[in-house]
Amino acid sequence: MSWYHPALFALDAERAHALTLRMLSLWGGAGTPLARDGASYPRLATSVAGVTFANPVGLAAGVDKNGEAISGFFGLGFGSVEIGTLTPRPQAGNAKPRLFRLPEDRAVVNRYGFNNHGFNAGLANARSAKRRGTLGINVGANKDSEDRIADYSKGVAAAAPLADYVTINISSPNTPGLRDLQSGQALRDLLAASVAAKGTTPLFLKVAPDLDPAGVDDIARAVIEAKVDALIVGNTTITRPGLRSSNGAETGGLSGAPLAPLARARLADFRTATGGAVPLVAVGGIGSAEEAYARIRAGASLVQVYTALVYEGPGLAARMLAGLDALLARDGFANVADAVGA
């Protein structure tokens, strides 16, 4: 465990999360990077959907929902930071407690329910942040919305002028009925509306790991037909694979190390289903350079982390960058793109 764990782990998980964001917002506001930036590793620079990434290691959505510590997270070495999920109107999310550590499993269960301050607040933070890398903005629908597709369309249109890419998140298990948008005509209507709203900004789609083969194939066809720019695979899981912690019984989405096998399998499924025609972003159980490299070799153009930060600490991104650079050099790859799917 890192130096700060005993103090933070003594706090309620959600309070510790808020304190971490506050600390990073202060460091970021001072403008002092906490780690070597991506320019220190030219081999790690890459381009996905026409967007330049200083390195392929990104911060997943959900860590900094309201964009309060964008500069601070870039200062940790991340090549990209994805804020959100932001909804049109502020919403409190589900009742507390709603975030649970599973230390024996190096995992977390959350049932936040898209708690956020709304588009206006999140986009204002994005507008004023010191950027040191690529900014993604993740948008969703309000829980009580009468027209969720309209919510996504509004979010994409609002975020596109500020973002390097926009993600539509239809994969959270904590908003009832949200995952129904992952299939059939509902998915196609959503993609059509979102593509129409994005202008020239690349559009990414974030899907769940809890998909069967038919669901994977349906999403792959829809994404290719709609010309979505990339797929983020995936989100938290509602399954509970062999957990030791008592908190594993909590309702919500599981993330962290136990998610890795499922996330790897789903990445492989989407690589096959899309035939490599759509860039893939791997998320779920990634906490080391070795795991990130394995996902890249399996077909991911980018990787994102979240829960590993809880257990590996703020130096995680910097260690992953150094390790990835060494692994690419060891295997004779001139850059990240050459290793994708190799």
Which residues belong to the active site?
Answer: 172
Binding-site annotation: residue ranges for FMN: 61-65, 85, 138, 169, 206, 234, 256, 285, 306-307
Binding-site annotation: residue ranges for substrate: 65, 110-114, 169, 174, 235-236
Binding-site annotation: residue ranges: 61-65, 85, 110-114, 138, 169, 174, 206, 234-236, 256, 285, 306-307
**Secondary structure (H, E, C), the chain:** CCCCHHHHHCCCHHHHHHHHHHHHHHHHHHCCCCCCCHHHCHHHCEEECCEEECCCEEECCCCCCCCCCHHHHHHCCCCEEEEEEECCCCECCCCCCCEEEEHHHCEEEECCCCCECCHHHHHHHHHHCCCCCEEEEEECCCCCCCCHHHHHHHHHHHHCCCCCEEEEECCCCCCCCHHHHHCHHHHHHHHHHHHHHCCCCCEEEEECCCCCHHHHHHHHHHHHHHCCCEEEECCCECCCCCCCCHHHHCCCEEEEHHHHHHHHHHHHHHHHHHCCCCCEEEECCCCCHHHHHHHHHCCEEEEEECCHHHHHCCCHHHHHHHHHHHHHHHCCCCCHHHHCCC
